[in-house]
Amino acid sequence: MSVVLSGNWQLAGGRLLDCSRPRVMAIINATPDSFHPGSRLATESGERRAQLSMVLEQGPDILDVGGQSTRPGSARVGAAEELRRVVPVIEELRRLDAAVPITIDTYHAEVARAALAAGADAVNDISAGALDPQLTELVACCDCGYVLMHMQGTPETMQQEPSYDNCHQEIRGFFERELARLERAGIARERVVLDPGIGFGKRMGDNLDLITWARSFLDLGRPLLYGVSLKRFIGELSGEQETERRVSGTLGVIWELLNQGVMIHRVHDAATARQMINVWMGLRGISGE
């Protein structure tokens, strides 16, 4: 099966990340309530530094730092608390590694501004600018990278009867409209990665539709990011109720997505994802860096 490969992603400062090969985005949760307990960072600085060092040793291509859980039904925290959680983590990561790209997982413009100043390279926004209209203006002014994600509803309401007539076609239309809006706001397409938002206002059938038809988004000309790691639909498909037992199922879905041309994968376990991706690349004669 041939795979259509995506191009570069422009990050802060004009830096380019080659997305014509698979990329592992490691999840770093500076939160006390993320759905997967094993991904939560310690609050004590020494223990937290050791955890971050271990993540870096796993060889991720990107680090995604978040200070607010966005699991279904989660309550929001204010920007001040989110800042308190994420800025020290980004500063610590920059002391440990000055080069690895960092995304800040937030929909608050205030948090994004501080994270970028602390060393982040891109904003990963679950709301496409809907939860804080100032975020689009900030991203345009800061000339950073941007993850444009689709979500139906909000984290509090998104799994309360989400509905689509044709999920992947509707989200494709959303991407087309939003890319045009971002361009009008001064955010070039080269700075944008597309995430269809698996599990964010999606039923089981919707998630499977977005996986089956992932290739249909590629002719929009931007790299695709999927976050399927340990999610509920994998538990439902596999029969595994415990999140930590869904790693094999996660890798199976990522393998299918790689075959569809999805090159950026947001995961809780970067080491196992890296091993699987190396095998996938090796079987296709794709060399590493």
Catalytic residue among 23, 191, 222, 231: 231
Active site residue 231: yes
Q: Tokens 């770093």 correspond to what residue?
A: 28
Two tokens, residue 41: 């960072």
Two tokens, residue 245: 């037992």
The alpha-carbon radius of gyration of the chain (Å, integer) is: 17
Cα-flanking dihedrals φ and ψ of residue 52, to 5°?
-65, -40
CA distance 134 to 108: 8
Residues ≥6 apart with Cβ < 8 Å to 210:
167, 168, 171, 196, 198, 202
CA distance 12 to 65: 16
Active site residue 76: no
Whether 124 and 64 have beta carbons less than 8 Å apart is answered as: yes
Buried b (16+ CB within 10 A) or exposed e, 64-74: bbbbbbbbbeb
Catalytic residue among 172, 202, 246, 266: 266
CA distance 61 to 19: 10
CA distance 260 to 254: 10
Residues annotated as catalytic (active site), given as ranges:
231, 266
